[in-house]
Structure 1
Amino acid sequence: MKYLIGIIGIIVVLLMAWAFSKDKKKIKYRPVVIMIVLQFILAAVLLNTNVGNILVGGFAKGFEYLLSYAAEGINFVFGGLLNADAQSSFFLGVLMPIVFISALIGILHHFKILQIFMRSVGYLLSKVNGMGQLESYNAVASAILGQSEVFISVKNQLSLLNEKRLYTLCASAMSTVSMAIVGAYMTMLKPEYVVTAIVLNLFGGFIIASIINPYEVAPDEDILEVKKERKQSFFEVLGEYIMDGFKVAITVGAMLIGFIAIIALVNGIFSAILGISFQDLLGYVFAPFAFIMGIPWSEAISAGSVMATKLVSNEFVAMDFLTSGNFDFSGRTTAIVSVFLVSFANFSSIGIISGAIKGLNEEKGNMAAKFGLRLLYGATLVSFLTATIVGLIY
């Protein structure tokens, strides 16, 4: 029965994308089918094979080491704030390591290692997804640099992009996550769920964008031009990325304080007036979607509540809700919900992406804001598709 429901779920997601397609006649179905097959293969390898266990284990172990090194700097600065036996706070244990990870990204960027990797993988992706090299490069870069920083690397191309190509670039940025905060995710979710979601979302973003936003890229338009930056010294780059990481950590912390407090207030108001919390109400709205993703109906309402929390706030709030709540989910339900949460698909990302682009090109920033809701719709479908495939594989 789970296979039948899962297949229906995939069909529903694809139909929901097709219904909002800008040009149904231009949809390239062959790349879509190929990428869906690749998603199934990659999900099966990462979740159900020894090779996958080794890859995920190595990835997780690497981040475990990085987090331990980050703790050295954190303890030096903040160690006196905690008792010896006290559990590390969310700010110190989850957010502050972002500073160190960001610094490492800066080092790899300075020595051109990241650029070579992103261009190489982007080139290979372009041979599969039927899109341009710029779109493929941007998708890989988004998963490493982040949804706002990635647009700096394609600044010179922004003025040359039409609305359809800009939409695809923004969709990739919203469907992925930044490598700087992957370590933070792994402190809240199992590493195998985080890694699987990152890999599947990379292809899922192209699948949904290919259906919602189909177009052709002429060979003379498909020129990958990365912004040529002023030559910076090693310590200039290092200092810049350290401060960028700190800004991200502080920003995420501020958003968590605001969103969690507001949700608590709204829950209190709804409970007092209707006798049901706002999150529980959202759970009923999202329950049918959770069910077609493969979650049993007995758990669908609670799972829907977690997923809806991510949409209206952000993934950190939803992850905290998942880990701290007394849901008693089955292993399969936990896997489905977890991979759904690993993306930037939420309302606040519309402002982050359009604001980042507007800072580089006002016209294109206004264009991105105009299709913001359609962008969020597509990125959310990417999360639904990834979670449904995991439900079938797990």
Structure 2
Amino acid sequence: MKYLIALLGLAIVLGLAWVASSDRKKIKFKPVALMIVIQIALTFLLLNTKFGLILITAIADGFGKLLEYANEGIMFVFGGLANDGQAPFFLNVLLPIVFISALIGIFQYFKILPFVMKGIGFVLSKVNGMGKLESYNAVASAIVGQSEVFITVKKQLGQLTSQRLYTLCASAMSTVSMSIVGAYMTMIEPKYVVTAIVINLFGGFIIASIINPYTVSDEEDILVIQEEEKQSFFEMLGEYIMDGFKVAIIVGAMLIGFVALIAAVNNIFDMVFGITFQGILGYIFAPFAFIMGVPMNEAVAAGGIMATKLVTNEFVAMMDLANVADTFSERTLGIISVFLVSFANFSSIGIIAGAVKGLHEKQGNVVARFGLKLLYGATLVSILSAIIVSIVL
């Protein structure tokens, strides 16, 4: 039965992408089919094999160690702020971003990350039927973040067509930044975080290939990566540490605002209609939860968490999931966890459009115009990834 539901889900997701396609005649179905097969194979490898277990355990342990190191610095500054046995969200989940951001800066400085990003991007370009720039950008988005990635391709922004620009922005919204992966792993199971990151890379290309099909000529397919301004090691380190702290503060501020707003709106809806706002959204998104493989008796609750992620952000939704995790089956937890690991929400439209506009005003306006279509595609990527995972769970 789960395979029939998965096939139905795949047909619906690909159909919804086809309906929104800008040029259906140019869709390349062979790369799409190949990438779906690769997604299923990688998901099986990561979640259902001994090798996958060893790999994910190693990654989780690695991030666990990083969080331990980060905690040394946090306790030095904030030690004694929390009572024994308490685990403040800001200290335990958000502040480690500062340390991981510093590590990313070090790997960037010594040219390790650019080498990895170009290498993986080159391999991806042989599979996805798109250009080297699009493939590099998808990998870079998953490492340096959805706004910072555009700095690395600054030289080419002005020459990009709106179609190529859409693909770059879709990749940025469909992935997550490596600097906050450790934070995710404190809230949901690491194996689902790792799996989502891997298959979202291909999912972004699958949906973009259908919604936004085009062909890149060899003359256009030139990858020019913007070199960072030459800094001393400690200048760079200080900059990345401050950037990490800014991200932690921004995420914290967003959480305060969104969680408080949802609590207020839920209370108003409950008093007026006898059902919370999230409850209503749960019914709206329940059909999508069902085609993702969530059982009907859990679909409404799962749909509410999915909707929360869309209208707020993934952190708020992960907190909600943690609060009701014991009411879900292990299969549902895995499916919803994978769905949550992306930047597909309304606030990301402003973040990405603002990042591009800061580098090239005209192209930033182009991004703003297709913002809703961008979110539509990125949400389909999250649903597609969840369906793929439901096949092997």
TM above 0.5, yes or no, is: yes
Partners of 2:345 and 2:108 lie apart in 1 by 28
Q: How far off is 1:15 after superposition?
A: 0.4
1:171 alignment partner in structure 2: 170
Q: How far off is 1:231 after superposition?
A: 1.2
Pair 1:89 & 2:96 matched? no
Q: State the secondary structure of the residue aligned to 1:86.
A: coil
Q: How far off is 1:88 after superposition?
A: 1.9
Q: How far off is 1:86 after superposition?
A: 2.8
Q: How far off is 1:230 after superposition?
A: 2.2
Partners of 1:131 and 1:59 lie apart in 2 by 29
Q: State the secondary structure of the residue aligned to 1:81.
A: coil
Deviates more, 1:278-287 or 1:228-237: 228-237
Q: Unaligned stretches of 5+ in structure 1?
A: none
2:299 alignment partner in structure 1: 300
2:391 alignment partner in structure 1: 392
1:37-48 matches, cutoff 5 A: 37-48=37-48
Q: Which runs of 4+ in 1 moved over 6 A?
A: none
Q: What RMSD over aligned residues (CA atoms) do the two structures have, in Å?
A: 0.7
Partners of 2:92 and 2:145 lie apart in 1 by 21
The TM-score with structure 1 as length reference comes to 0.99
2:337 alignment partner in structure 1: 338
Q: How many residues align?
A: 393
Q: State the secondary structure of the residue aligned to 1:143.
A: helix
* Kept after mapping to 2: 8 A contact 1:302/1:327: no
Pair 1:53 & 2:56 matched? no
1:1-394 matches, cutoff 5 A: 1-83=1-83, 85-325=84-324, 328-394=327-393
* Kept after mapping to 2: 8 A contact 1:13/1:384: yes
1:96-122 per-position Cα deviation (integer Å, ceiling 9, x unaligned): 000000000000000000000000000
1:335-380 per-position Cα deviation (integer Å, ceiling 9, x unaligned): 0000000000000000000000100000000000000000000000
Partners of 2:377 and 2:227 lie apart in 1 by 31
The TM-score with structure 2 as length reference comes to 0.99
Amino acid at match of 2:126: K
Q: State the secondary structure of the residue aligned to 1:152.
A: helix
Partners of 2:269 and 2:389 lie apart in 1 by 34
1:19-50 per-position Cα deviation (integer Å, ceiling 9, x unaligned): 00000000011100000000000000000000
Amino acid at match of 2:19: A
1:102-150 per-position Cα deviation (integer Å, ceiling 9, x unaligned): 0000000000000000000000000000000000000000000000000
Partners of 1:385 and 1:241 lie apart in 2 by 33
Partners of 1:134 and 1:331 lie apart in 2 by 38
Q: How far off is 1:392 after superposition?
A: 1.1
Seq. identity, % = 68
* Kept after mapping to 2: 8 A contact 1:201/1:382: yes
Q: State the secondary structure of the residue aligned to 2:153.
A: helix
Q: How far off is 1:326 after superposition?
A: 6.1
1:165-189 per-position Cα deviation (integer Å, ceiling 9, x unaligned): 0000000000000000000000000
Q: How far off is 1:82 after superposition?
A: 1.8
Partners of 1:101 and 1:148 lie apart in 2 by 17
Partners of 2:232 and 2:29 lie apart in 1 by 47
Partners of 2:86 and 2:154 lie apart in 1 by 43
Q: Unaligned stretches of 5+ in structure 2?
A: none
* Kept after mapping to 2: 8 A contact 1:336/1:387: yes
Partners of 2:282 and 2:49 lie apart in 1 by 33
Partners of 2:161 and 2:262 lie apart in 1 by 38
